[in-house]
Amino acid sequence: MIIVTGGAGFIGSAIVWELNKRGEDDILIVDSLGKSDKWKNLCSLRFSDYIEKDVFLEKILHESFFDVSALIHMGACSSTTERDARYLITNNYEYTKHLANYAHRHDVRFIYASSAATYGDGSQGYSDDESSIERLRPLNMYGYSKHLFDLWAKRNGMLDHIVGLKYFNVFGPNEYHKGDMRSVMIKAYEQIQADGKIRLFKSYRKEYADGEQMRDFLYVKDAVKMTLFFLEHPEINGIFNAGTGVARTWNALAKAVFAALELEPQIEYIDMPETLRNRYQYFTQADISKLQRVGYTVSPTSLEEAVRDYVQNYLQPQKHLA
């Protein structure tokens, strides 16, 4: 059996979707459905059972699961604006420690979601070299909660047995329930549907023109392939970046959305909130050389192709992964 925590969420449900495509349905999904619409991500998936995350943790603590081959831990609070540090420590840090310890005791493959948010403002670069993670300074509590586990795993020798993935700017189908934490891509699509134009933040650095701020945009289907590569190769462990390795501008993203809709670009540049200006990242780009060195050779989907697939095959027909 494969356990996928956060299996009703964005990346988690996409992982289950890909496992189903590969003929795997002996899957236990763990999540906390609450009042959100993420349950809709489950409707077309095949899995053996579903369990709420609190019940699952109690069972893990009492060693109640058997015949588990892998535990893919995507479950966490992913809100970069969450301010409740106690909640993030409990939900993102302590919970992950419990699962990692369980997996280590029972020789279960453990793959977990770290985050590119651990890199902070990028002044220390974007290398996933584990020898340098102590130098990283996340900009928000979400990033710090992820960073704390990376540090704990390193200090306790866990990185020789588990895999952590630092996902960059992931977008794609099944993110619909995420509210304000949805990607700019889907928000751009909705802005075009509403009034025909996309709004991007102005730049407040002279070296970047408006809309020329850059991100490493990763299509969720590629994020899933990278994740499952480590399921297929249990001999490989450590922390790895999950990105394309190519930074693209917000303008390029906006133009790709218009192109997918066969419309002429209409972009408006708006003021960035004062509270964001000192914490805004102007450039992110995953260093994926380590991922490539361990044998991952699949070329990431181009931004234009990914946006076209997302818009035409999912957003316009209003479909989930199926």
Residues 111-160 pLDDT 10s = 999 999 999 989 899 999 999 999 999 989 999 999 999 999 999 999 99
Burial tier of 262 (Cβ tally within 10 Å: 0-12, 13-18, 19+) = exposed
Of the candidates 35, 30, 25, the one whose C-alpha atom is nearest the C-alpha of residue 9 is 30
Task: Tell me the average pLDDT of the chain.
Answer: 95
Confidence of residue 18 (pLDDT cuts 50, 70, 90): very high
Q: Tens of pLDDT along 89-105?
A: 999 999 999 999 999 99
Q: DSSP strand E in the chain: where? A: 2-5, 27-31, 49-52, 70-73, 109-113, 163-167, 169-171, 198-201, 214-215, 217-219, 238-242, 248-249, 267-270
Long-range contacts of the stretch 230-235 (C-beta < 8 A, 24+): 230/109, 230/111, 230/163, 230/165, 231/2, 231/70, 231/72, 231/109, 231/111, 233/294, 233/295, 234/109
Tokens of 151: 């540090």
**So what's the pLDDT on residue 75?**
95
Which pLDDT band, with edges at 50, 70 and 90, does 281 fall under?
A: confident
Single out the catalytic residue among 53, 178, 197, 202.
Answer: 178
**In this predicted structure, what is the pLDDT of residue 178?**
93
Angstrom distance (rounded) from CA 21 to CA 173:
16
Please identify which of the residues 93, 95, 119, 142 carries the catalytic annotation. Answer: 142
**At 103, which helix (H) or strand (E)?**
helix 95-105
pLDDT over threshold 80, residue 56: yes
Collapsing DSSP to helix, strand or coil, 165 comes out as strand
- Cα(253)–Cα(262) distance, rounded to whole angstroms? 14
Q: Which residues of 184-203 are buried (b: 16+ CB within 10 A; e: fewer)?
A: bbbebbebbeeeeebebbeb
d(CA 115, CA 45): 26
Placement of tokens 């290398």 in the chain? 127
Check pLDDT > 90 for residue 255. Answer: yes
Domain boundaries, the chain: 2-171+216-246+283-300
Taking the C-alpha atoms of residue 74 and residue 263, their distance in angstroms, rounded to an integer, is 36
Q: How many CB atoms lie within 10 A of CB 88?
A: 23
Pick 2-171+216-246+283-300's CATH classification: 3.40.50.1970, 3.40.50.720, 3.90.25.10, 3.40.640.10: 3.40.50.720
Active site residue 50: no
278 pLDDT tier (thresholds 50, 70, 90): confident
In the annotation, is 142 catalytic?
yes
Read off the pLDDT of residues 153-204 as tens digits, 9 standing for 90 and up.
999 999 999 999 999 999 999 999 999 899 999 999 999 999 999 999 999 9
| Tokens coding 282 | 């102007």
Q: What pLDDT score does 125 carry?
A: 93
Tell me the percentage of the chain whose pLDDT exceeds 70: 100
